[in-house]
Amino acid sequence: MASKRTEAGEMPADIETLTFEQALSELEGIVKALESGQGALEASVAAYQRGAALRAHCERKLAEAEQKVQAIVEGPAGLTLRDVE
C-alpha cells in the first residue's frame, strides 16, 4: 500500500483525525485537480502523495466498518453482536 508517511512511518496526524466522509471528499477534490492537469508538477506530486495517504486512510476505515458488520451474527435469539478483535 503506497501512502505518504512521516519519517516515523506513521500517517500524517491531520489525516488520522478525518472521518471516512471527510477523507473521501478531500480525495475526490485531489483527483479532480490532478485530472485537470492545471497544477505545477511539484504541487501535483505533493497532491498525489496526500491522495495516496487519504486512500489508505479510507481503506482502513472501510475495513474497520466491514469487521463491525461481520461481527453481527444471527443466533437463536435473533441478531447479536459478537466481539470484534
- What is the average per-residue pLDDT within 76-84? 65
Residues spanned by the domain of 21: 13-81
Residues 53, 5: contact at Cβ < 8 Å? yes
CA angle 26, 59, 46 (to 5 degrees): 45
- pLDDT per residue over 4-50, tens digit each? 444 445 678 899 999 999 999 999 999 999 999 998 999 999 999 99
**pLDDT at residue 84 in the model:** 57
Q: Tell me how far apart the alpha carbons of residues 81 and 85 are, in angstroms, rounded to a whole number.
A: 12
- Give the count of domains, the chain: 1
Residue 32 belongs to a domain with what CATH number?
1.10.287
Q: Which residue has the cell 505518504?
A: 4
Which grid coordinates belong to 20? 471516512
Q: What pLDDT band is residue 58 in, cutting at 50, 70 and 90?
A: very high
- What is the average per-residue pLDDT within 57-78? 84
CA angle 34, 37, 42 (to 5 degrees): 75
6 assigned to some structural domain: no
Dihedral pair phi/psi, residue 78, rounded to 5°: 105, -155
7 assigned to some structural domain: no
